[in-house]
Structure 1
Amino acid sequence: MKTMLNRLTVLLVSCALSALFSSAAGLLEGLYCGKESCYDVLQVDKDVTAAEIRRAYRHLALEYHPDKNKAEGSRERFQLISTAYEILKDEEERANYDYMLENPEQVYRHYYHYYRRRVTPQVDIRVVVGVAISVISLVQYLGWWHSYNTAISAALRMPRYRGKAKELAVEKGLLKEGQRRKGLSREEIKNEEETVLRRIVEENLNILGGYSKPVLWDVLWFKIVFSPYYLLRYLYWYGRWVWLFTLRGQSYGTEEVVYLTRRQLGLSITQWESLEEVKRLELVDRKLWEESNWTEYKEEREEERKTALLDNSKYKKYKRYMKSTGQKRVTANS
């Protein structure tokens, strides 16, 4: 008997809660249309189509528009009609609203989904990615130009390059030594000379590596757009390598030995091109991709490092300090 009373109590409480939620119809203050159903606001059924929602909205908007309806509360009603239309015309928003009506007990979920959609920027992810790539490409290009201009300016300050550029400018008749042109100040003549010498250096100095002249198709945007081409080119290169050198055992050509040397040293194309031509030829001639040559090269580099360390003035000072004071230090044993 007691068990039956307990079950009856639980049933009554459940019915009361169900009635409470049903009376509110799952409507929450501050969400969507508030305590009024968006469907009731537009005077349509829940299974209404998108076209019928548009028709109902146009009809009610004309009826309650503040310019035509001067009755008290018409402006607030018009705003509520507009809110209901904005919610029901969007498929995702309508689905969230219908879920709230069917599951009124999940209060926190409804608040989360409602405000997440309004706080989160409604921006197409493709636009975000496109803008990010464009910014990166612009920074790349401007940075390369800065490095290139730095290299040209540094070359102009070096007597060897500046003297050679001046000789070429005189030979081409771009500069006339010992003659001052009328109507130009000393500063203007100097600026004109710098412009001519800079152009000569740019035309004749082969700057490679990280300071080479920028080209537009090296930026990230072009790399992404032409990535299928780069992929096909790599597959062709790899297949050719396997066929010629792995399967047929042919001797390596100039391009191949450069690649093997660069890979063995762990250098990128830019880093490799920044080396002096004599240094590059020396490294290629040593065939560093062969194990014995590579071991010998590493031992030589280690010896060079040690020699450079011994010749370093700071290291010598440290050695002298340790020699003169190292024996006098107080230890735990003393």
Structure 2
Amino acid sequence: MNLYRSVRAVADASGDDAIDWQAAAEAAKASTDPGSLALEPGEQAAYARDVREAREGVREAAGLEFDVPEVIEIQNRHHWMDANIETFQRVMAPMEDQLGAFPGVARTVNTGTMTVLLAFLGRNVLGQYDPLLLAEAPDDDHALYFVRPNILNAADVLEVDPDRFRRWIAFHEVTHAAEFGVAPWLSTHLEERMQSGIDALSEGSFDRNAFRELDTTMTVVEGYAELLMDHAFDDEYEDLRRKLDARRQGRGPLQQLFRRLLGLGLKQRQYERGKAFFETVIEHRDLEFASQVWDGPESLPTDDELETPGLWVRRLES
């Protein structure tokens, strides 16, 4: 790590946009140890086996026909930053000219903020299913990433078997591949809400409906993934979830602040709310019925239906 180089990159931010993306990437990498990609013998094959068996397990449990992305990468932290900075840049594009009366100062502050975000996420993301939202070439294949240094570090801190932990991460990410695979409309649905919300922000307003619908959809995505995990993972994993949640809750005040600022607390809420919704649906029906959520955008629950799942069940029965 080179903190001086990181600070210097932010201080030298330039260009015409609100964020100097090249400087942000350079600064984030300079402040973050990339971690090792020196794979042990058989480790690459183990990752491939985990993904393959997760695909088969999810297919069998849910009766869904889907495939995993052709792009499956074992990454270090810098690789993850490279893979994601273009997504951040696409999402923020409508706000690129929002510099105010002091553009130089605003650009430096914005670049510094993005640096902190990239560095924090780069040190904490374990695995990622990347649907390539807002990509210029929408037909590009989606991608599946495993951040090896973070997986090994988390397994060590949690005192769990690293092979079992890695396998659990693979199953979780493959459940997201299943969702986007059986619902080809999902990417467009998310993109439209995201674009509407960002466009409104760039014009100085707030599109409450767009962000509510985005939150509702992501709640369904996270909740259904947990539902599939319950049915597809061929081992107990409650201890892994409990230890990981305890680790998040036990972080220091600064890390907790970062999590709130980055919306990671919202992600936890989406997971809990979505899981509760689908657990209630399963109590009254079954996994096949719950999977109708992916029949089309009109089959997604509303915010009220997330709170009262019986309303959604009755709507789909009618």
TM-score by length of 2: 0.25
As a proportion of its length, which structure holds more strand? 2
* Higher radius of gyration, 1 or 2: 1
Which one scores higher on RCO, CA 8 angstroms, separation ≥ 6? 2
TM-score by length of 1: 0.24
